[in-house]
Structure 1
Amino acid sequence: MKDQDAPHITPYTKPAAGWDALKHVAISLRQERVAPENLKALLAQNQPDGFDCPGCAWPDRNHASTFAFCENGAKAVAAEATSRRAGPELFASHTVTQLLEQSDYALEQHGRLTEPMVYDAASDRYVPISWDDAFALVGRHLRALPDPDQAAFYTSGRASNEAAFLYQLMARLYGTNNFPDCSNMCHEATSRGLPATVGIGKGTVTLADFELADTILIFGQNPATNHPRMLGELRDCARRGGSIVSINPLRERGLQRFMDPQSALEMATLGSTRLAGLFVQPTLGGDFALIKAVAKRVVEHDDAAQAASAPAVIDHAFIAEHCSGFDAFRDDLRAENWQLLVAESGVNRAQIEALTDIFIKGQRAIATWGMGLTQHKHSVAAIRMLSNLMMLRGQIGKPGAGLCPVRGHSNVQGDRTVGIEEKPTAAFLDRLGQVYGFAPPRAHGHDVVATIAAMQRGEVKVFIALGGNFAAATPDTPLTFAALRQCALTVQVATKLNRSHLVIGKEALLLPTLGRTEIDLQGGVAQGVTVEDSMSMVHISYGRNAPASPQLRSEVAIVAGMAEAAVGSSLVDWRAYAADYARIRDDIEKVFDDFYDYNARVAQPGGFHLTVASRERVWKTASGKASFLVAPLDLDTPLHRARARHGERLMVLMSTRSHDQYNTTIYGMDDRYRGVYGTRKVVFANADDIAMLGFADGDMVDLTGAWDDGVARRADGFRLVAYDIPRGCLGAYYPETNALVPLASTADGAGTPTSKSVPVLLERSVSYKVMPGV
């Protein structure tokens, strides 16, 4: 690509999407050398008889549309349908050490894996292995462990319900609840925070609610890059006069204006729609204080209204019927110090007032959030405070209003629903044991951070990953790499080569699987797999393209093969499951009541909606009511202590994605909406901070960690880019900056790495130079 040859920074002034999105879809298809017969797959993406997007978990609204994919969804399909192959020839010509020296982008460009490979330590290369021998190797290692908890089973959100259900069944039959998964690194704070307030860790809205909403509050999200189809809902809301507020330290171009590629008029006239009318930019880690400040202001408005005998601002009828703990919550808000709220949030009083006024005016409000809200020390408290704020005005469980956590990977929510959970409930384990006739393990298992720590201590010796890029997605990169290398066996199930396949144990397997876009034939019958999107809709997906290699196996078949080798078939007929996925769905409904008539309901266009009790104003809490929870400001956090040590030189870093990226998959070297082209080694900073620190826009700097554990953490050679971000805050891409995130820095009550609030210092790079082309 031409714009990758000359790195440069050029501010982007166009609307999101539009002709540039179509242009970059075409570039991606050409770059991946997608065969003409595979291009037709795009028209089947997110269609009732097609396949679900292998990218984000945003739901589908209009199955009758000509095309129901976005730019990044098209890139995901192109990456999977590429004609490039990472077969035995690649591994014969490159050692693992040599491949490890390549960039994440270069590794992605090798293409699809074609056959199972095993690591040969003598040559430092992967060499071919038969499927039977690969499964036998997994079985030998697992059976040799003296304690089942010495194995960990990682799950990516790309895994289907069917594969994830078999995976958790295999591991629990084996004897462990060690299920680190991608939820632990993204929306775990949602899953742990919401049950205490509304009774279930899922959102309460569907796409139909977006059609009715008059107010949408967007916390810590960049929809134009991470889930672009959401922009269509925002456009519709804006065009009918609704209010949209972006609450995010970065003022993202993609939320300013949007040109809808499916609008012939906008495309023909180069028109666009203004989206967010207000941009509120809290300091990193300031979300909790900001939300609490808005809640306090709502109470003050209500107090004034009652004193004047005016209509109430708070929905007292909703609270009286549905809530507990309100009086204590209101008293705490009344007593909270305004000066501290303003200081801790980083948002001035005028903007807090403006945000509160919009929220109070709204009659049907939706609050959405992404990882900008979940990857902080107090993320659980922030999400509970947001839930409480919505409860103040009865904005949960009514049409056009509610809570909307926006998940990342296409089935990260579904995997949790069907049992990928390191802290399973007793009720779930009871039912699983009854259906399959065994006693599941009861002790809670390891999440992602605990798994890395256990590997580091030598307590986890076998690591199996059902998809994903564990080594690149996790924090404290050198420590994580060292921990993985201590394992006796690492197993990776994947479609394409990534860094995790090169950070390996003493023995290692690389097992290639079918992609979501590919036809999955078992016994000559095409199999469909199901996923659950962010709004609890379950739908079925059928691939359209021929498999990239005749040696590929489905995730279901691979899990079944490992399970048969590790735990045997006395209780479960794994081969029968692998031959007919409808049998898996039949048994899922035996374990989970909400999946009744699974096969029949998922066969309907659009699938079916799983019950979310809080949507119906049924509260599965201890009190049987939605709970207001009191939480104080914490003025003694690691960030506070680091600032006390380093003063104004202390910066707080958030890691983020570029536009040419999905999770750890790097499709290209550009971040179009932020004006970055041809490079990923940039750090966004406030212009005043750049000057205060004695630098200039364009200088090269190194980032060093300012955690207080004595461990030296650094990421070198980044170009400073002046950007609209609050003072004291920085933004940079991951995985390049994951090395700066301490393993011990996690969200209270969730264990999520605090990748959005990392204390760092900047120093001039020893190899200082201005970026070429700038």
Structure 2
Amino acid sequence: MSEKDIPGIEPYDGAAGGWGALGAVARALSGQMALARESIALHKVNQPKGFDCPGCAWPDPKETSSFEFCENGAKAVSWEATAKRVKPEFFAANTVADLWNLTDYALEGLGRLTHPLAYDADTDTYRPIAWDDAFARIGAALRALPSPDMAEFYTSGRASNEAAFLYQLFVREYGTNNFPDCSNMCHEATSVGLPESLGSGKGTVTLEDFDHCDAIFCIGHNPGTNHPRMLSTLREASLRGVPIVVLNPLPERGLERFTSPQHPVEMLTNSAVRIASTYYKLKIGGDVAVLKGMMKYLLVEDARALAEGMPGVIDRDFIAANTTGFEALVADIEATDWTAIERTSGLTRAEVEHAASIYARASKVIVCYGMGITQHAHGTENVQQIANLLLMRGNIGREGAGICPLRGHSNVQGDRTVGITEKPNAALNEGLRATYGFEPPVAHGHDAVAAVIAIREGRSKALVALGGNLAVAMPDTEETFAAMRGLDLAVHIATKLNRSHLILARQSFILPCLGRTELDEQATGPQAVTVEDSMSMVHASAGTLKPASEHLRSEPWIVGGIAKATLPATRVDWDRLVGDYNLIRDDIEKVFPIFRDFNRRVGAPGGFRLRVAASERAWDTPDGRAHFLLARGLDEDAPLAEGDLMLTTIRSHDQYNTTIYGLNDRYRGVTGRRDVIFLHADDLAARGLKHGDRIDVFATGANVADGKARAVRGFTAVAFDIAPGSVAMYYPEGNALIALESHDRRSGTPAYKSVPVRIERAVTHAVA
């Protein structure tokens, strides 16, 4: 059977970007039936007087063009600026049971929510409710809980700094630190691992550092889909001869070649710029093995150079002046066997040493990584091994070098900076105490996994979600859905309908909010919000479009309304803050002095960068030094049983996290479907299977340790150029295979990228 014989599967030979991207943008705009509205919005994306793209967190260049958006940014804008509306008449005509039968793509594709809604059990429908009535019922339900710690307060990374700050202020005055948020599911391993290594939980590079580096390593990420504007930065580096080394289990077109839509010659000639100079497809879970192998090579080459009277490869002056733990790392690396490195990584010693030789020859190196590093059982240690590699040659805290974690949602980093954390430190608590005069809770609260487990066990009975699609985003789909149905209260602040809204509590509310593209007018006039990108740049965002409904309210306004209804003796003047977002920023500065002179600095074109101490070689660790830290052996995850494969969940090119913009995955050659699983042809053949067969996938290992069978059935096998022993399927479809307990114990990050599985031919039943 050839690939063309399978419906919806045909190889795509084009580069990333190019005419394919422009065609996808045109289809996205026309599909939402608001061409004029969306076109106006696109001209404002990532502009100094416009709004920040609601997509990824890649930073804006200092010199912007009129075309500062990518294909997926255009999809995100069209999805929000759509002309489609979901009005009360629709909900009156469609029960929740009916809506449940729609796909996730169809649910969000219905359009923008227009009215606040409350669930009516008698009719099984959502019905419109007045804002004041919704707030009164929500406030009463929260006050009725025996303890504030029985409520969970989720945050999506699309929330602005202003909304997130007010949210954490409300929740802490209410009395809990239960802040499950989207960072828990993506880069929490970074937020935990880097402070231990470097004293800062953020990346150390700026966008300008890419202009000065002389090597880039890309590990476990896919910029063509998840942060497409990065491709322009990689393109420029490639054109000036910078080697770009990729370590990834799958070939990703955006890391192979790119045609820039902003360069007419490339478009007219249909030419492309090569991105990766070296591309190694390591096994899923082989990152630590490769990193230790590279460090092993550096130690050997350093000893050889010194013996020959040459300068060493290791920056021993930097290490002596700035770090601790190097001797223990050397002992660990020297005890690591090359045979084990090759077996675990899936690469040969020669391949690992070649990658290491590129690193050794370069004087200024940037390492970029994504969730292929963090979403493992030992994700925190994975992050720290990247830090080790960079510290060995002094590649932290100088121009053109550093560590670059690639965040997802546009303000996931900013939300954490302004207090969305289940682990508040003393400085945050003292800032709240001094500014508002109440005593904030100090006990650690729940992260996302802990929150769902608490809901499952009946220890939490309320959920308030500031955006997102939490139930669908979490692992263990069946368990999570069942747990959520046991809640007494569910409140969803959202722009569109999604499946989490259909998982009903005793009281369920949907509160429609303004989108990033829309004009936000409060008591003092039009307002701007702020966001922080992956490189700690804070800049303003101001929507200009007429709101999709006169009943929409901003996220800060909604948070303030819930707070006033819940806290009759509040110490916060919510109306004053909501009426003028400048005052929110003044208070952010009081609580977090890092935002010094916030309102003035954010008014400058491009905004300002928050201080990252490690970027200045100032190590905010207890001993004031950077730390070399050890990983436990080579396995990022538990070893596989005989015959098992390791599965990773991935995003299609037509989605952003749980939002499905369409059913195509252009760069992987998939059209109109998501029921596919990518495997190496040899792994299929070894199981008596072939390309196009229907297969069932069964979780094994830690994901069935609780005795519960987890499986997905009837998916189509696609032979793909993936590392042998590795399997990939789409997120969130693959979440059903992952137990809630399967996560990094240090960061709480679910192991979405490392799922031991068994593959079998699908069982078919004859129809009577």
TM-score with structure 2 length normalisation?
0.97
2:391 maps to what in 1?
391
Q: Deviations over 1:120-145 (max 9, x none)?
A: 11111101111001101110011111
Partners of 1:615 and 1:768 lie apart in 2 by 61
2:760 maps to what in 1?
763
Q: Deviations over 1:455-506 (max 9, x none)?
A: 0111111100000000110000010001111100000000011111111211
Equivalent residues in 2 for 1:523-538, closer than 5 Å: 523=523, 525-538=525-538
1:718 maps to what in 2?
715
Give the superposition deviation at 1:634: 5.6
- CA contact under 8 A between 1:198 and 1:625: conserved in structure 2? yes
1:772 maps to what in 2?
none
- CA contact under 8 A between 1:46 and 1:63: conserved in structure 2? no
- CA contact under 8 A between 1:376 and 1:755: conserved in structure 2? yes
2:654 maps to what in 1?
660
Give the superposition deviation at 1:632: 3.1
The letter for the 2-side match of 1:565 is: A
Partners of 1:763 and 1:627 lie apart in 2 by 45
Segment drifting more, 74-83 vs 714-723: 714-723
> Equivalent residue of 2:431, what SS?
helix
- CA contact under 8 A between 1:38 and 1:545: conserved in structure 2? no
1:676 to 670, 690, 704: 670
Give the superposition deviation at 1:62: 4.3
Partners of 1:762 and 1:98 lie apart in 2 by 33
- CA contact under 8 A between 1:161 and 1:415: conserved in structure 2? yes
Q: Deviations over 1:591-617 (max 9, x none)?
A: 111111111110110000000000000
Equivalent residues in 2 for 1:197-596, closer than 5 Å: 197-523=197-523, 525-568=525-568, 570-596=570-596
Give the superposition deviation at 1:654: 0.4
The letter for the 2-side match of 1:717 is: G
Residue 698 (1) aligns with residue 692 (2): yes
- CA contact under 8 A between 1:288 and 1:378: conserved in structure 2? no
Partners of 1:101 and 1:297 lie apart in 2 by 55
- CA contact under 8 A between 1:152 and 1:463: conserved in structure 2? yes
Partners of 2:723 and 2:745 lie apart in 1 by 25
Q: Deviations over 1:705-740 (max 9, x none)?
A: 113321011112211001111122100001111110
Give unmatched runs, 5+ long, in structure 2.
Answer: 1-5
Give the superposition deviation at 1:768: 8.7
1:750 to 747, 751, 766: 747
Segment drifting more, 567-576 vs 221-230: 567-576
Q: Deviations over 1:209-259 (max 9, x none)?
A: 011111110111100000000000100000000010111111112211100
1:735 to 728, 732, 735: 732
The letter for the 2-side match of 1:16 is: A
The letter for the 1-side match of 2:113 is: L
Partners of 1:210 and 1:407 lie apart in 2 by 17
- CA contact under 8 A between 2:376 and 2:637: conserved in structure 1? no
> Equivalent residue of 1:304, what SS?
helix
- CA contact under 8 A between 1:700 and 1:768: conserved in structure 2? no
Give the superposition deviation at 1:35: 4.1
> Equivalent residue of 2:566, what SS?
helix
Residue 59 (1) aligns with residue 33 (2): no
The letter for the 1-side match of 2:586 is: D
Q: Deviations over 1:264-319 (max 9, x none)?
A: 22112222100001112221111112111111111111111111212210111111
> Equivalent residue of 1:639, what SS?
coil
Give the superposition deviation at 1:748: 3.0
- CA contact under 8 A between 1:47 and 1:63: conserved in structure 2? no
> Equivalent residue of 1:553, what SS?
coil
Q: Deviations over 1:670-694 (max 9, x none)?
A: 0000111110000000000000011
Partners of 2:461 and 2:504 lie apart in 1 by 12
Partners of 1:768 and 1:58 lie apart in 2 by 48
Segment drifting more, 301-310 vs 539-548: 301-310
Q: Deviations over 1:419-449 (max 9, x none)?
A: 0000111221122111110111011000000
2:3 maps to what in 1?
none
- CA contact under 8 A between 1:162 and 1:529: conserved in structure 2? yes
- CA contact under 8 A between 2:16 and 2:224: conserved in structure 1? yes
Give the superposition deviation at 1:108: 1.5
Give the superposition deviation at 1:335: 2.1
Q: Deviations over 1:567-603 (max 9, x none)?
A: 1364111111111111100100001111111111101
- CA contact under 8 A between 1:379 and 1:748: conserved in structure 2? no
Partners of 1:570 and 1:127 lie apart in 2 by 30
The letter for the 1-side match of 2:716 is: R
> Equivalent residue of 1:510, what SS?
strand
Equivalent residues in 2 for 1:127-206, closer than 5 Å: 127-206=127-206
Partners of 1:447 and 1:329 lie apart in 2 by 31
Partners of 1:724 and 1:290 lie apart in 2 by 20
> Equivalent residue of 2:201, what SS?
coil
- CA contact under 8 A between 1:194 and 1:383: conserved in structure 2? yes
1:651 maps to what in 2?
645
TM-score with structure 1 length normalisation?
0.96
The letter for the 2-side match of 1:434 is: A
Partners of 1:554 and 1:432 lie apart in 2 by 23
The letter for the 2-side match of 1:206 is: T
Segment drifting more, 248-257 vs 506-515: 248-257
2:33 maps to what in 1?
33
Partners of 1:241 and 1:483 lie apart in 2 by 53
Q: Deviations over 1:503-560 (max 9, x none)?
A: 1211100000000000001136110000000000000000021100000000000000
Partners of 1:709 and 1:125 lie apart in 2 by 36
- CA contact under 8 A between 1:48 and 1:63: conserved in structure 2? no
The letter for the 2-side match of 1:397 is: G
Partners of 2:646 and 2:537 lie apart in 1 by 37
Segment drifting more, 230-239 vs 312-321: 312-321
Q: Deviations over 1:396-432 (max 9, x none)?
A: 1110100000100000000000000001112211221
Partners of 2:269 and 2:437 lie apart in 1 by 64
The letter for the 1-side match of 2:514 is: L
Partners of 2:38 and 2:275 lie apart in 1 by 35
Give the superposition deviation at 1:64: 3.2
> Equivalent residue of 1:509, what SS?
strand
> Equivalent residue of 1:677, what SS?
coil
**Aligned-pair identity (%):** 54
Partners of 1:567 and 1:609 lie apart in 2 by 35
> Equivalent residue of 1:246, what SS?
strand
Partners of 2:356 and 2:79 lie apart in 1 by 43
Partners of 1:429 and 1:288 lie apart in 2 by 37
- CA contact under 8 A between 1:164 and 1:420: conserved in structure 2? yes
Partners of 2:450 and 2:587 lie apart in 1 by 31
> Equivalent residue of 2:638, what SS?
helix
Segment drifting more, 266-275 vs 448-457: 266-275
The letter for the 2-side match of 1:735 is: P
- CA contact under 8 A between 1:59 and 1:535: conserved in structure 2? yes
The letter for the 2-side match of 1:285 is: G
The letter for the 2-side match of 1:477 is: T
> Equivalent residue of 1:732, what SS?
strand
- CA contact under 8 A between 2:698 and 2:710: conserved in structure 1? yes
Q: Deviations over 1:610-631 (max 9, x none)?
A: 0000000000112211111123
Partners of 2:405 and 2:100 lie apart in 1 by 35
Give the superposition deviation at 1:336: 1.7
Give unmatched runs, 5+ long, in structure 1.
Answer: 1-5, 770-774
> Equivalent residue of 1:55, what SS?
coil
> Equivalent residue of 1:184, what SS?
helix
- CA contact under 8 A between 2:376 and 2:744: conserved in structure 1? yes
The letter for the 2-side match of 1:739 is: A
Partners of 1:148 and 1:524 lie apart in 2 by 33
